[in-house]
Amino acid sequence: MKILTWLILVELGIIPHSGFIIYDPPERVFKETSFYIDMDAELGIGPFFVGGGLKTYFWKVKDGIRFSPHLAEYRCRAGIKIEIIKELELTAGGRTACFHPVIPYLYQENIKPKWEGAYSELFVRFKAELK
């Protein structure tokens, strides 16, 4: 049995063609190819774990690729992992995510995109390994 586990993950990705729509004022974002970086970490002590991550986007512009921290996605999670039998693991926990501009509206009025939000989830996951 593992007593302490520390995971650090970094993911780079491309969004070939997608679109988000802002309704006030109407505007489409991700007009062309864009990119993202997703960083995540998790600490496990015995069967318990806690973790979190941050995803930030890069926009394709005329003169290259520009980092735009106006939108960030923050995530955190916690739970427990139980090995039911050798090939079957049960994970139960909760996670929450929020999306909002990095620069507060108090300091800059023309932030685009102007979306914010959050959600929470409770989950149960079964993981089976077939060898």
pLDDT tens for each residue of 45-101? 999 999 999 988 776 666 666 665 566 789 999 999 999 988 899 999 999 998 876
For every residue of 2-14, DSSP letters joined together read -SEEEEEEEEEEE
Report how far residue 103's alpha carbon sits from residue 74's, in angstroms, rounded to the nearest whole number.
14
pLDDT band at 104 (very low <50, low <70, confident <90, very high): low
The reported pTM is 0.70
